[in-house]
Structure 1
Amino acid sequence: MKPIDLWRKMIGAKIYAKDVATLRVNTVFAVGQLSPDEYTELIELIDVKYIH
Structure 2
Amino acid sequence: MQPVDLWRKMINAKVYSKEVATKRVNVVYAVGQLSDEEYTELIDLIEEKYPVS
Query: TM-score, normalization: structure 1?
Result: 0.98
In the TM superposition, structure 1's runs of 4+ consecutive aligned residues that sit over 2 Å from their partners are: none
Cα distance in 2 for residues equivalent to 1:30 and 1:4 = 13
Cα distance in 2 for residues equivalent to 1:25 and 1:4 = 9
Cα distance in 1 for residues equivalent to 2:20 and 2:4 = 16
Q: Which runs of 5+ in 1 are unaligned?
A: none
> Residue 12 of structure 1 aligns to a residue in which SS?
helix
Matches within 5 A, 1:1-52: 1-51=1-51, 52=53
Cα distance in 2 for residues equivalent to 1:30 and 1:43 = 14
Query: TM-score, normalization: structure 2?
Result: 0.96
- The count of aligned residue pairs is 52
Instruction: Indicate the RMSD between aligned Cα atoms, in angstroms.
Output: 0.7
